[in-house]
Amino acid sequence: MNTWNLDKLYKSFESEEFQSDLKHLDDLILKMKGFESQLHDYEGVREKLISYVENSIALSQLAERLFSYASLRRSTESTNVQSLKYLNLLQVKVTELTTVETMFKKWLKDVPGLEKVIEEDPLLEEHRFHFVEQKSQALHLLDDKTEVLIAKLRQSGSIAWNHLQSLLTSTLAVDYEGKEITLSEVRNLAYEADPKVREKAFAAEIKAYEKIEKAIAAAINSIKGEVNTLTEARGYESPLAETLIKSRMKKDTLDVMIETMEAYLPVFRKYLKRKAKLLGHKNGLPFYDLFAPIGNASKSFTIPEANEYILKNFHTFNERLYQMANKAFKDGWIDYLPKKGKVGGAFCANLHVIKESRVLTNFNGAFGDVITMAHELGHAYHGEAIFDESPLNSDYTMPVAETASTFCETIVNQAALKDATTTDEKLYLLESSLQDATQVIVDILSRFYFEKALFEGRKTTLYDADELKSMMLDAQKKSYGDGLDENKLHPYMWVCKSHYYSGTLSYYNFPYAFGLLFAKGLYAKYLENKETFVPMYDKLLAATGKNFVEDAAMIANIDVTDKAFWVGSLELLKADIDLFLKLTE
């Protein structure tokens, strides 16, 4: 079964269950809107809070089921008009809650003796952190009518532009060797052993972007302009400041992580230059050879082989991870193969309402695809850990979102290295791991630089496609340095990365670096004491929806504001690079 099964959500848009739940959603929205009349005084505060929480849980569960089904359908069938129409309908319905949600946050901010009220009821105590966040968000809210207007305008603003980027990239026809293939398929050719295939595929990919660059330039300009406008209106210092608050992460944590990553860039450039030399390049590595295999790359995985390989290695961690992955493979959690109309890349959707996840990949058989599956199943394991929490306590933020995924990558990578029987095989596996680490440290920095420059520039100007390409090249030169051939970079990385195209989720780049380095630190602790680590790890994951990043990390006795932690994790990556340099002398 190579496509996922969504029947536990709904069998179809026409099904009685879907249509009935649509009507029920209207009822719950109407019930929730009834609170508006209760938020003008503080009589019966405890009862009002309990009722609001109970209704919020019921509403969030139903909305998640409906939204998830429509969204997952759209991700594999971007031209499916039904999914687009229902997504738009659901978004319009949910905007009806904007007034009551705005009123509640402002009302909550001034509840007399809130601490004592929370302490006296188990349900309220369980949601203490949720209330803390709601109060904090109230500081950045505009008046009720304006918030409603913003929510409605987003439907034809950032949300529409996001849909456009997704539609254009998922349906883009790429002319490769006289044959029409998808963007995901041509990008997968970057992992091929034949250097001519990699170079031709890259040229075909770049050429194809010319057909959609103007439209997507309009999309990214519009989204970043909208974010700038709303960020300023709400009193945030910058879009980055807003992202950090939403990430439950201190600026000190981000600053020390970025500073340490930048200090280790020369180490990664040594690896890139050595790889360039091995592949016969004199001026650094061309972008199209970033994912070129080194060593024995003869092994290609079928889907059953990839599944079995992951199961074998997940079993070394704990039974829970193994059983979850086994269930994912057997019960149709995964949509594996690229096809026209399917979005590129990979993701995992945690579906709290059915206590399962669904995973999208664009599997091509390379070892990197196996690692991608392990990564996404790590997200699913995070879901397993948090499904026992209240839905209002299960919304973890971007930085910690990449922790379990990267940890599962590490499990599979380390196991593969241990199982390697020849130097050539070990070199291949080690270098595959370094490819991923370089993306998450070096390329992520380029994306961070690009987005920061774009937000700053959009305050005063619009950028055409040529200017955006130039900005991306500047960002890549800054992060990759002489590790890449400056005449053979990728000017269109802003087109194919969906992370830039959200009006409510900016800077979806640095969390990947946080996830990798935090997971490396956790893995080191795992090796120190495996028996005590696993229950602590599960506890940490479960706590990520109701804690600040720094507090969640302290469950593992890790201080993420301390540079020493980041140095320790980057030293582990440096050791891998040193080994690679030694093996390729």
Q: What is the pLDDT of residues 8-60, one digit of tens each?
A: 999 999 999 999 999 999 999 999 999 999 999 999 999 999 999 999 999 99
- What is the residue-wise DSSP string for 111-127? -TTHHHHHHT-HHHHHT
For 305, the enclosing helix (H) or strand (E) is helix 303-314
Note the pLDDT of residue 295: 84
Long-range pairs for 528-535: beta carbons < 8 A, 24 or more residues apart: 534/317, 534/318
pLDDT digits 0-9 by tens, 466-508? 999 999 999 999 999 999 999 999 999 999 999 999 999 999 9
298 pLDDT band, cuts 50/70/90, is low
d(CA 389, CA 459): 41
Q: Is the pLDDT of residue 296 over 80?
A: no
pLDDT digits 0-9 by tens, 109-123? 999 999 999 999 999
pLDDT digits 0-9 by tens, 441-450? 999 999 999 9
Q: Is the pLDDT of residue 152 over 60?
A: yes
In this prediction, residues 159-177 reach a mean pLDDT of: 95
pLDDT digits 0-9 by tens, 206-228? 999 999 999 999 999 999 999 99
Nearest to 264 by CA among 444, 528, 414: 444
297 pLDDT band, cuts 50/70/90, is low
User: What integer best gives the mean pLDDT of the chain?
Assistant: 95
In this prediction, residues 386-391 reach a mean pLDDT of: 96
Note the pLDDT of residue 429: 87
Cα dist. 306→95, 116, 326, 367 in Å? 42, 53, 12, 8
Q: Scan for tokens 């230059």, then name that residue.
A: 273
* Contacts of residue 291, Cβ cutoff 8 Å, sequence gap at least 6: 190, 191, 198, 368, 435
Note the pLDDT of residue 216: 98
For 527, the enclosing helix (H) or strand (E) is helix 510-528
Domains, the chain: 16-156 (1.20.140.70), 303-424+511-583 (no CATH)
pLDDT digits 0-9 by tens, 497-515? 999 999 999 999 999 999 9
d(CA 420, CA 49): 58
Residue 97 corresponds to which tokens in the numbers above? Answer: 């809650």
d(CA 92, CA 155): 7
What are the φ/ψ torsions at residue 359 (nearest 5 degrees)?
-120, 130
Q: Is the pLDDT of residue 159 over 60?
A: yes
pLDDT digits 0-9 by tens, 333-384? 999 999 989 988 899 999 999 999 999 999 999 888 999 999 999 999 999 9
Q: For residue 176, how far is the Cα from the chain centroid?
A: 30
In this prediction, residues 126-145 reach a mean pLDDT of: 93
In this prediction, residues 183-201 reach a mean pLDDT of: 94
Note the pLDDT of residue 419: 81
424 pLDDT band, cuts 50/70/90, is confident
Residue 260 corresponds to which tokens in the numbers above? Answer: 């340490």
Strands 334-335, 356-360: pairing kind: parallel
Q: What percent of the chain has pLDDT over 70?
A: 100
351 strand-pairing partners: 356
Note the pLDDT of residue 31: 96
Half-sphere exposure of 310 (CA within 13 A, CB side): 30
Classify burial at 267, counting beta carbons within 10 Å of its beta carbon; exposed 0-12, middle 13-18, buried 19 or more. Answer: middle
